[in-house]
Amino acid sequence: MITAADIEWITLIDKRIAWLSELARQRQDNAVRLGLGGRNEAPNDYARALSLHENGVLGEGATMIYLSPVTWNLMDMVRADFNDFIDSKTRPKMWMDLPIQRGSDPNWAYVLACREFAPRIALIGWCWGRDGMIQSNWGAINTAIDRPAFWIKQSSEAMRPMRELREYLHGKGAH
């Protein structure tokens, strides 16, 4: 379980935000070029799909900074975002839950990031897929904006502080 004291804040500088925005556009252009449609009921129209990429890259950028050094799979939309087992999920509001889509790998770590106070990005916490992908977490919270997924509440025992993921990657006491 996580608390407000466990949240890690990363401030993205203007150059990083511009680079992340370009990365989002390149990802969407690449998806169109490869004929990849939205997965898990994601939108297929260019503008709405691009907005999902723009949202996601802010959390990925903050996650990369916090967990560095890591390998960032920048353009691969099938593999995990980092080190082949860490996936960052960015939400627009601090109170929102961590989504894990159907068919996701239960052996991956899923990070909950929030862009509500961008350029300050909140890394709220993370959980192993196997701990969050349980039937009681399945559904759609708000069908107007959310796709069906496993929704892990921030108050869930499955959620862990970000420092534990960094220690898992780099050893005890990693800063």
Number of other residues whose CB lies within 10 A of the CB of residue 135: 7
- Structural element, H or E, at residue 21: helix 14-34
Q: Is the pTM of this model over 0.75?
A: yes
Structure token digits, residue 20 = 């992340």
Q: Which amino acid is at 43?
A: P
Q: Has residue 113 been placed in a domain? A: yes
Q: Has residue 124 been placed in a domain? A: yes
The total number of structural domains in the chain stands at 1
Read off the DSSP letter of residue 96.
Answer: P
Domain containing 88: what range?
4-170
- Decide if 165 contacts 86 (C-beta within 8 A): yes
Q: Has residue 175 been placed in a domain? A: no
pLDDT digits 0-9 by tens, 29-80: 888 888 776 555 566 678 888 888 899 999 999 999 999 999 999 887 778 9
Q: Has residue 35 been placed in a domain? A: yes
